[in-house]
Amino acid sequence: MYYISTRDPNNRITASQAIMKGLSADGGLFLPEEIPQLPKNALEELGNIPYCERAAYVLSLFLTDFSYDELLQYTTKAYSAAKFGTEKIAPMAKLNDRLYVLELYHGPTCAFKDFALQLLPYLLTAALRKNHCDKTVVILTATSGDTGKAALEGFCDVNGTKIGVFYPDGATSKIQRLQMTTQGGENVAVFAVKGNFDDAQNGVKQIFTDTDFAADLCEKGYVLSSANSINWGRLVPQIAYYVSCYCDLCQNGAIKQGEKIDVVVPTGNFGNILAAYYAKQMGVPIEHFICASNQNNVLTEFFTTGRYDRNRPFYTTISPSMDILVSSNLERLLFMQSHSTEQLKDWMQGLAKQGVYELPKDIMQEIRKEFIAGFADDAECKQTINHIWKKYGYLADPHTAVGLKVYQDCLKAGKTSNIAVVAATASPFKFAGDVLQAIEKDELPADEFERLTVLKNVTGLPIPDALYQLRHKAERFTKTCKPQEMPKTILSWLA
Ligand SMILES: *Cc1c(COP(=O)(O)O)cnc(C)c1O
């Protein structure tokens, strides 16, 4: 199977090349030329095997220049009970007969990004070998809070790689920042960017399309890649957990084989929800995708009106990993729905130049058959954390709570009637202060780690050890740069 760029379908490369490059030099994103189909009975058979085998199977359908055995080796190392604290790796919690939570936050950095970023180092280093590349890969990552740490953890001291992370200064939770700035390892660097996530992501994208910069690095023995969800290697491991959750729902009798479900995803860069869309394209019976945003509700407006307009205030919210106005992965969905590459390029040019594009009615009608969108502001998000805790004894983090709130709205409006799965994207302990306020409303302790302890005492839930250990760690990285200084910053780090 070959991969093409959203902006040039004639440029065909292999899966390993797509993973190596991350972003296409024409500014487009790589995607598979066609979607592999799950054979009949595959969902039944996958139900009987452990997570790492399910994942290796799904990966093998997309990454055809990797063997199944090779992929199984990687998934076995990446998805171990030791790392994820549970044999199930992606367990489900039942809130009621119609509503399940897919817990994606049991990995080493307590967010769903671990599913991709525990695996990506194996995929990427294998991709380098397959393509006889003897250069050191420099992985550049823009993060709104969780990708950075997950990427640092995955690539820390991996031979032949270096990893540089850019996060928006002052816009992550304190725990998220400490997770990144205390990171150990010889091959890592972390920088705060004076700006928001979009500025950081845009800075990284510009570097990727700067051929002079690439040539300069090449001479120094480096090649660039990305650990953001613009990299296909980030998305494909996420498809696996949607396939897996369908198998689990069938296994535990919640649904019958073939029954349609709805999937609710708290969304920022549109990567996680797009992975669910690919699962459907492969044959997983999903009817609707419910795209949940926080107050940065550019996607809600897009799905409602067909107009994507990033010219709007940027809000800093209590779900910081979704504080995004340019959802990069939407380009992959639009590519699949557009009538021509020229049309897609027009929209993307509109976005780059005026910050706006508008889809024709016929295309929006098709998209709306599958996608439903809504948003929740911080107050609604906190009310939802409180309500879900009181009613079901389930503690949701602010991102997951945005998903739960939008699901409830859709249910009331009669937009969803299938059994629904909400993706739980982070541990509530990453956002202990806001979660505590939501369920207790008492005065918060000033110290972040005392908040973790109070949250543990109030809920009886364990503090993830990796987060509690942060209190002893010194911050290693304190450099700040402007978005336009990112290239210079990278060069001086590599020198
Ligand atoms: C990254 C992230 C999201 C958004 O996921 P996208 O793939 O960017 O849509 C939501 N919640 C949490 C906790 C995240 O870390």
In sequence order, what are the residues at sequence separation of 6 or more whose Cβ sits closer than 8 angstroms to the Cβ of residue 472?
none
State how far the Cα of 451 lies from the Cα of 457, in Å rounded to an integer.
Answer: 10
Residue 205 scores a pLDDT above 90? no
Q: Which atom of ligand 1 is nearest to 269's Cα?
A: 8
Digit-coded pLDDT (tens) for 331-344: 999 999 999 999 99
What's the confidence (pLDDT) of residue 394? 98
pLDDT tens digit sequence for 301-325: 999 999 999 999 999 999 999 999 9
Share of the chain above pLDDT 70, in %: 100
Å from CA of 218 to ligand 1 middle: 32
What is the pLDDT confidence band of residue 123, given thresholds at 50, 70 and 90? very high
**DSSP letters for 182-241:** T---SSEEEEEESS-HHHHHHHHHHHHT-HHHHHHHHHTTEEEEE-STTSHHHHHHHHHH
Report yes or no: 293 and 299 within 8 Å, Cβ to Cβ.
Answer: yes
What does the block give as tokens for 234?
């980030």
442 has a pLDDT exceeding 80: no
Is residue 322 within 6 Å of ligand 1 at its C-beta?
A: yes
Looking at residue 23, what is its pLDDT?
87
What's the angle, vertex CA 351, arms to CA 349 and CA 353, rounded to 5? 65
Largest CA distance in the chain: 60
pLDDT of residue 208: 86
Query: Does the CB atom of residue 268 touch ligand 1 within 6 A?
Result: yes
Instruction: Determine the Cα–Cα distance for residues 44 and 48; give it in Å rounded to an integer.
Output: 7
Q: Taking residues 421-437, what's their average pLDDT?
A: 97
User: How many A from CA of 232 to the centre of ligand 1?
Assistant: 16
Cα separation, 123 vs 126, in Å, equals 5
Pairing mode, strands 419-424 and 99-103: parallel
List b or e across 191-221, with b for residues whose CB sees 16 or more CB atoms inside 10 angstroms: bbbebbbbbbbbbbbebbeeeebbeebeeee
Nearest CA to ligand 1 atom 15: 146
| Beta bridge mates, 164 | 140, 189
Three-state DSSP class for residue 148: helix
The finding on whether 146 has its CB within 6 A of some atom of ligand 1 is: yes
Residue length, the chain? 495
Q: What is the spatial distance between Cα 58 and Cα 62, in angstroms, rounded to a whole number?
A: 7
Sequence-separated (6 or more) residues with CB below 8 Å from residue 136: 160, 161, 162, 221, 222, 223
Give pLDDT, residue 209. 87
Identity of residue 388? I
Q: Measure the CA–CA gap between 463 and 449, rounded to whole angstroms.
A: 10
Report CA(426)–ligand 1 centroid distance (Å): 8
pTM over 0.75: yes
Count CB neighbours of 21 within 10 A. 22
Question: How much is the CA Rg of the chain, to the nearest whole Å?
Answer: 21
Cβ proximity of 187 and 175 under 8 Å:
no
pLDDT more than 90, % of the chain? 94
For residue 362, pLDDT over 80 is answered with yes
Residues with Cβ < 8 Å from 443, sequence gap 6 or more?
none
Confidence of residue 224 (pLDDT cuts 50, 70, 90): very high
pLDDT tens, position by position, 124-183: 999 999 999 999 999 999 998 899 999 999 999 999 999 999 999 999 989 999 999 999
pLDDT digits (tens, 9 = 90+) for 12-62: 999 999 999 888 989 899 999 999 999 999 999 999 999 999 999 999 999
The two structure tokens encoding residue 341:
């590459």
Is the shortest distance between the CB of 266 and ligand 1 below 6 Å?
Answer: yes
- Residue in 163, 118, 112 with CA at minimum distance from that of residue 142: 163
CA of 438 to the centre of ligand 1 (A): 21
Please return the burial class of 59, using the count of CB atoms within 10 Å of its CB with bins 0-12, 13-18 and 19+.
buried
The answer, yes or no, to whether any atom of ligand 1 lies below 6 A from the CB of 399, is: yes
Which tokens sit at 470?
A: 């942060």
CB of 400 sitting under 6 A from ligand 1: no
Distance CA 133, CA 312 (A): 43
Q: Which atom of ligand 1 is nearest to the CA of 112?
A: 15
Confidence of residue 228 (pLDDT cuts 50, 70, 90): confident
289 lines ligand 1 (CB under 6 A): no
Three-state secondary-structure class, residue 357: strand
What integer pLDDT is reported at residue 46 of this predicted model? 98
Nearest ligand 1 atom to the CA of 425 is 13
Which residue among 322, 325, 375, 402 has the greatest number of ligand 1 atoms within 8 angstroms of its CB, and so is best to mutate? 322
Alpha carbon nearest to ligand 1 atom 1, residue: 321
Q: Would you say the CB of residue 111 lies under 6 angstroms from ligand 1? A: yes
Q: CA-CA distance, 99 to 405, in Å (whole number)?
A: 12
**Which residues, 6+ apart, have CB-to-CB distance to 113 below 8 Å?**
107, 146, 147, 149, 150, 151
With CA atoms as reference, report the closest residue to 85 among 467, 470, 435, 474.
467
Q: Kindly state if the Cβ of 270 falls inside 6 Å of ligand 1.
A: yes
**pLDDT higher than 90, residue 242:** yes
Please, what is the average pLDDT of the chain? 96
> pLDDT class for 229, splitting at 50, 70, 90?
confident
Model pLDDT, residue 411? 98
Reported as a single tens digit per residue, the pLDDT across 54-108 is: 999 999 999 999 999 999 999 999 999 999 999 999 999 999 999 999 999 999 9
